[in-house]
Amino acid sequence: MAVVSFVVIIGNPRPGSRTARAASAVAAAVAAAADVPGTPEIIDLADLAPHLLAADPPAAVAEATAKVAAADVILVASPTYKGTYTGLLKVFLDRFGAGSLTGKAALPLLVLGAPQHALAVEVHLRPLLVELGATVPTPGLALLEADLDRLDSLAKEWAAQIPPAVRGALTAGAAR
């Protein structure tokens, strides 16, 4: 199996967010289910936020975009703000051209305060990843904040439901 680069993007402006915790658990569950070796690399946009719209961003911003550009699999996580992903996440993804994530597999994850926003993962976040060119082979995952006390089991259940062939598409030169 080829070495797979698995990157997790966390679009919550607050450091140490529930989004970060949820994304790590889902990434671990997907890596286990799909037999991805190594540890996913985390890009927490809370760290980069003050620089993302700066006129002259520090090297850390270019390093983060380079990691995404080199990834095979990307988990894209955000809380819902105003019924959709955060502006912070979109500002980061706006650094990439349309179609520039072609050949990568992307997994959309939203952490919801209210169940009323659950469709946002399919109608807002996933179309954004498709526009960027990513292959999005699974349904998006919408996790309620109220359910995060059983985060690990929810993450495992979700990863287990990914059909084996799609798990294959996530890895092993996956989308190559």
**Site for a copy of itself, rule CB under 8 A:** 13, 49-55, 81-84, 86-94, 96, 98, 103, 114-120, 122-124, 126-128, 130-132, 135-139, 142, 163-166, 168-169, 172-176
Kindly give, in sequence order, each residue whose CB lies less than 8 Å from that of residue 114, ignoring residues fewer than 6 positions away.
80
* Least separation in angstroms between CB 39 and a copy of itself: 22
CB of 95 vs a copy of itself, minimal distance in Å: 9
Nearer to a copy of itself, 118 or 148 (CB): 118
23 vs 132 by CB, closer to a copy of itself: 132
- Looking at the Cβ atoms of 6 and 92, the one nearer to a copy of itself is 92
